[in-house]
Structure 1
Amino acid sequence: MELDTGAAVTAMTKADFMRIFKSEPQLQKTSIKLKTYTNEVITPLGQLQVKVEKGTETFYLPLLILDKGSNPILGRNWLSSIKIDWSQINKMSIDPPDYAAKIKILTSTYADVFSDGIGTIKGIQGTLVLKNDFRPKFCKSRPIPYALKKKVEQELDNLERQGIISSVKSSDWATPIVPVLKANGDVRLCGDYKTTVNPNLYAEKYTLSRMEDMLAQLEQGEKFSKIDLRQAYLQLPLDEASKSITTINTSKGLYSYNRLPFGITSSPAIWQKTMDSVLQGIPDVQCNQDDMIVTGNTDEEHYQKLHSVLRRLQQHGLKANLQKCSFFQPKVLFCGISITKDGLHKTEDKIKAVTEAHPPTDKTQLRSFLGLVNYYHKWLKNVAHIAKPLYNLLQDNKHFSWSTECQKAFETIKSMVASDKVLMRYDRDLPLRLATDASPYGLGAVLSHVTREGDERPIAYASRTLNKAEDIEKMAKSCSGCAMSQPDPLLTPLHPWRWPDKPWQRIHIDYAGPFLNFMFLVIVDAHTKWVEIIPTATSTSSATINILSTTFARYGIPEQVVSDNGPQFTSEDFRAFISSNGIKHTRSAPYHPATNGLAERMVQSFKNAMKAAKHDEGSMNLKLARFLLAYRNSPHSTTGESPASLMFGRLLRTRLDICTPSIQTHVTGKLQKQEQHHSQASPRTFSTGDHVLVRDYRGYERWQHGQISSQTGTHNYEIEISPGVIWRRHSDQIVLASNPVPPPQVTVITLPVASPIRPQDVQIPGQSSTITSPETVSLKVGKVILLNQKFFSLC
């Protein structure tokens, strides 16, 4: 355990406990809350008593178990109980993770990624697309400062030696160069393409990731690694058609780029699209142009993702600048923001630039100051409102005059930027809370996380000033006289109640009356539209509770009750009744009956029905019963089903059912008629070998002779009509033959295959006559079969 005399308690994570003791901790509840040095509140999962031995002494001490954290902490509560003799302690040390060994493995495994020179992406080429009406533009070279001329020429030679550029004799395009001095003293050559190529170029349509989106993807990281790609754009080859477009004009002549150059309007989108495809599928990795940031929930996960990223760079031929890379850092700079596990911080250089700024003397300096402040607008609450005097100075029709009000706003903004406010990193598992604010001069908002301890920590602030139209509208709305005399506002959009999932889940209640010398408690189930209407002499809380208790005994206790603000529904007795039964009570807004519209509408329907039945016979209770029976059994316009069928799964039996026979009675009657019709028929059976007449449905002859060959069912038989010809028939299609006819004789005549014959040439054995026919038959098979003196040919 790690000794921490600043910690009041002893604690370890659940994962460490299970790793050490090989079992789940048997936790007890605790009200203790911990606070870190960054004022973050941590709620332990629980605590347990553990056995601690020191020499011959044994102690049972409390150990807090946390959801996550670092090393186990030995706090003051254990130290005061154990009373360690520090003079006997020779040495205490903690071995930090061996990051150096891991970094050495990474740099040696992927040595080609960190080698000198500029990489070349494999299998991908950049393409520049010109507009249809493009016009090539040729510009002469610009003079270069003498102090930079040698460095520029050396850089040109270096780029040509590496194959980044190639010397050309002539070109339709020529762009002057702009040398940019880097921090290490080297120069970067950029073409001034805004004067030549960019106006003639179709910009690449690829959405660049917002800074907020990239930072949100790093939510769970504890440590961070940053990889800097060497001369990023120059690692992407161009296709042949695009090379001549990028020609630059220098003091040494014309050169065309073989790689994607800086300064082209499409270069950022082309490069970002390329890197997104290279890194696709690797989580917790974000790339912003030439900078990549890698993180992980644990050091091991972080290490494995670094392997994945570097392996992907190696496969695609990309190279990184090891001197600008950093690994396993608690703090990294990314997109101009300092990132730690605790949140997002402003960088010291930008804070210094704001706090040391002098009051602006013209609009240009003021715009520069506000632009720098705007970079950190997420940290500054209501900055647009505070900076209103400064923004007013930027208006076109306003003379620049620095006033006391401007100076006050200027100093306030500088102090806000200099504050040590830390923004919490976005966590998708935590709820969000948005707070908004408005003033006569601007609008403001803050987006916060609600931590597991219930605290709010800001993620970002937002604000802006009002434009002229909004200023006029604000003034009109601030007129108190107009506000006091205005009519009711327009109706808000309808927000219907959610239809409950089951019966008697949410009920709506309301009182109707006094009506017919009674008060009536109307209860409507929101799911089934089932209605209960109970007359009562009074509408007090006690009477309401008694009625609801009886109703709940019949149908069960609902989850939610909706009512108006009547005194019987707002009394302490009714609140206690609702609370004791675990019911959620929702009351409508005063003078807004539409909130409890289901009960209100039922009250109207009930009153109209009772008025219509005024002259009917019977007591009031009988008329109410008739209404309820008819209503419960009628299809509802909303559900399409009757309340009874949704409540009980069936319709209620009424007097109309006496007039309508049931399905059982109807089916039974039909079956009895069918049995009577068939009872008059006498059964017929046949035996194998019986000669019968069989119904023939093919032609004009209704019956054919045959012989029963087998019985296949109670009334089904197979009958042999002729050798090899079997028919299946029902007994209703068979009758006994009075004159049995023997099966027909078959005479087979063999002839040569495909020999044309005439019927008159065919002699039938045992017959004196010949077959006569005016037609000549050509056979494809060498057999002719004569059945019943009829001529057939087989093909």
Structure 2
Amino acid sequence: MEVDSGASCSIVSEDTFRVVERNHGKIPLQDSGTTIVTWSKEALPVLGQASVLVEFKGRKAKLPLLVVQKQGNSLIGRNWFNPLGIGLRGIQQVNVEDVPSRFPEVFRRDLPGFNGPPVHIELKDDAQPVFLKSRPVPLALKDDVANEVDRLVQQGVWEPVSYSNWATPLIVVRKKDGTLRLCGDYRSTVNKAIKSSGYPLPTTAEMLTALSSSKSFTKLDLAQAYQQLTLDDETAEVLTVNTIKGLYKVKRLPFGISVAPWVFQRVIDTLLAGVPGVKAYLDDILISGCNAEEHAERLETVLSRLQKAHLRVNKDKCEFNQTSIEFLGHRIDDSGVHPSRSKTDAIQQAPAPASKKELQAFLGLLNFYSTFLKGRTEAAEPLYRLLDRDHEWKWT
């Protein structure tokens, strides 16, 4: 059985339970009156509750065990921890080399796709298909673009098709690491036809307030973010891209779709619901704890859920077991939340603005840290006056 500190009760599948009965005799089941719901809100039908004798490291106890109809892993939940003396102290010193070995699938380089329900993007009732030609690619980029198309096909993100009512041209972006990102220019096609999402992204204040009393932190980076979510067939066809190699149906949630951030955030929030000290903002997941043991237990729970969901993490971009960490433009440690050093340096080293547009950008940077700037309104009032339409621009 697998230890799951995120599960409140211990469960076993019906098939496994019947095997135990064949080996040890009939075990009576009683009505449990319990409803079990997975992280994806799927109800697990409970056949009943058995009372079983469990022996673990010299301890014996008669403990409740729920039998469920669906196949799956047998889980030791928290209701067995105290009677059997089970704790997670053995993992409290988190080592970056250690973690992948205990959750190997989470850190693999493949991209099997989230095993929850596929994403369906709703279109407006009056939406009409738009088919646009592929855009020319500079000669120097053609080979790289073709190779990236092939890689996405191999990963199962794209699939070649011979026909589609919808077609969106590509935008080619060179990333910091030198690789390419191929995005559909959905502003010119699908975004106009999509119904807006009502799911809000969390605010920075909401996220940081819940983390301000923590002492240990780990930050996980979800590999290729949106592209881990699978699409249903109807949505995949609507998001077809037109490339220099032809038409490709998009089978994973792509960048550039107007509702993609909200769709992705909802999935991750649902997946990690109920785990204290854990906050996710799109592809960044921050795990915190007031001490090493609490932090390690929460990290164990998060990695276990990610592995069960077939989600992948980019190990190279993760930070494990830190006493201070950067998150959402702020630095968090045991003394609270502080402005990020890189951001404050940018403010202090900013050149004098030469236009109203440059002044607006500078004031926007100041506004990001408004909660840390006492008297900001009074001090910045002359600068805001310079932005008035009728005010002459004069910087001295």
TM-score, reference length from structure 1: 0.37
Residue of structure 2 aligned with 1:238, choices 227, 231, 237: 231
Decide whether aligned partners of structure 1 residues 101 and 348 sit closer, same or farther in structure 2, where only a CA change above 3 A counts: closer
| Mapped partners of 2:357, 2:350: distance in 1 | 14
Q: Secondary structure at the match of 1:227?
A: strand
Decide whether aligned partners of structure 1 residues 397 and 169 sit closer, same or farther in structure 2, where only a CA change above 3 A counts: farther
Residue of structure 2 aligned with 1:317, choices 282, 287, 310: 310
Spell out the pairing of 1:341-740 with structure 2 (5 A cutoff): 341-399=334-392, 401-404=393-396
| Mapped partners of 2:93, 2:148: distance in 1 | 35
Decide whether aligned partners of structure 1 residues 264 and 351 sit closer, same or farther in structure 2, where only a CA change above 3 A counts: same
Q: CA deviation at 1:98?
A: 9.2
The residue number in structure 2 matching 1:279 is 272
Decide whether aligned partners of structure 1 residues 165 and 402 sit closer, same or farther in structure 2, where only a CA change above 3 A counts: same
Decide whether aligned partners of structure 1 residues 220 and 351 sit closer, same or farther in structure 2, where only a CA change above 3 A counts: closer
Q: Secondary structure at the match of 2:172?
A: strand
Q: CA deviation at 1:316?
A: 0.6
The residue number in structure 2 matching 1:295 is 288
| Mapped partners of 1:321, 1:276: distance in 2 | 19
Decide whether aligned partners of structure 1 residues 219 and 248 sit closer, same or farther in structure 2, where only a CA change above 3 A counts: same
Paired letter, 1:302: H
Spell out the pairing of 1:29-428 with structure 2 (5 A cutoff): 102-399=95-392, 401-404=393-396
What is the aligned-residue RMSD (CA, Å)? 2.0
Decide whether aligned partners of structure 1 residues 117 and 266 sit closer, same or farther in structure 2, where only a CA change above 3 A counts: same
Paired letter, 2:394: W
| Mapped partners of 2:320, 2:205: distance in 1 | 23
Map Cα deviations across residues 640-693 of structure 1 (whole Å, 9 max, x no partner).
xxxxxxxxxxxxxxxxxxxxxxxxxxxxxxxxxxxxxxxxxxxxxxxxxxxxxx
Map Cα deviations across residues 64-108 of structure 1 (whole Å, 9 max, x no partner).
xxxxxxxxxxxxxxxxxxxxxxxxxxxxxxxxx997764444221
Paired letter, 1:403: W
Q: CA deviation at 1:131?
A: 0.3
CA contact (8 A) 1:99 1:328 kept: no
Q: Secondary structure at the match of 1:327?
A: strand
Map Cα deviations across residues 356-412 of structure 1 (whole Å, 9 max, x no partner).
22222222222222222222222212323322222223333444x1233xxxxxxxx
Q: CA deviation at 1:257?
A: 0.8
Decide whether aligned partners of structure 1 residues 146 and 365 sit closer, same or farther in structure 2, where only a CA change above 3 A counts: farther
Q: Secondary structure at the match of 1:179?
A: strand
Q: CA deviation at 1:347?
A: 2.0
Decide whether aligned partners of structure 1 residues 353 and 219 sit closer, same or farther in structure 2, where only a CA change above 3 A counts: closer
Q: CA deviation at 1:190?
A: 1.8
| Mapped partners of 2:147, 2:332: distance in 1 | 38
Q: CA deviation at 1:321?
A: 0.6
Map Cα deviations across residues 266-292 of structure 1 (whole Å, 9 max, x no partner).
111111110111111111000000000
Structure possessing the higher relative contact order (Cα contacts under 8 Å, 6 or more residues apart): 2
Q: Secondary structure at the match of 1:171?
A: coil
Q: Secondary structure at the match of 1:308?
A: helix
| Mapped partners of 2:354, 2:138: distance in 1 | 31
Deviates more, 1:130-139 or 1:285-294: 130-139
Q: CA deviation at 1:158?
A: 0.5
Q: Secondary structure at the match of 1:283?
A: coil
| Mapped partners of 1:144, 1:112: distance in 2 | 36
Q: Secondary structure at the match of 1:387?
A: helix
The residue number in structure 1 matching 2:3 is none
| Mapped partners of 1:167, 1:398: distance in 2 | 57
| Mapped partners of 1:119, 1:344: distance in 2 | 37
| Mapped partners of 1:110, 1:366: distance in 2 | 49
Paired letter, 1:112: E
Decide whether aligned partners of structure 1 residues 232 and 223 sit closer, same or farther in structure 2, where only a CA change above 3 A counts: same
CA contact (8 A) 2:94 2:320 kept: no
CA contact (8 A) 1:278 1:312 kept: yes
Q: CA deviation at 1:234?
A: 0.4
Identity across matched positions, percent: 39
CA contact (8 A) 1:106 1:307 kept: no
Q: Secondary structure at the match of 1:205?
A: coil
TM-score, reference length from structure 2: 0.73
Q: Secondary structure at the match of 2:220?
A: strand
| Mapped partners of 2:137, 2:390: distance in 1 | 40
Q: Which runs of 5+ in 1 are unaligned?
A: 1-96, 405-795
Q: CA deviation at 1:221?
A: 1.2
Bigger Cα Rg? 1
Paired letter, 2:395: S
Q: CA deviation at 1:137?
A: 1.8
Map Cα deviations across residues 168-223 of structure 1 (whole Å, 9 max, x no partner).
22222222222222222112222221221111110121122111111122233111
Decide whether aligned partners of structure 1 residues 368 and 140 sit closer, same or farther in structure 2, where only a CA change above 3 A counts: farther
| Mapped partners of 2:347, 2:138: distance in 1 | 31
Decide whether aligned partners of structure 1 residues 369 and 311 sit closer, same or farther in structure 2, where only a CA change above 3 A counts: same
Decide whether aligned partners of structure 1 residues 385 and 199 sit closer, same or farther in structure 2, where only a CA change above 3 A counts: farther
| Mapped partners of 1:203, 1:360: distance in 2 | 37
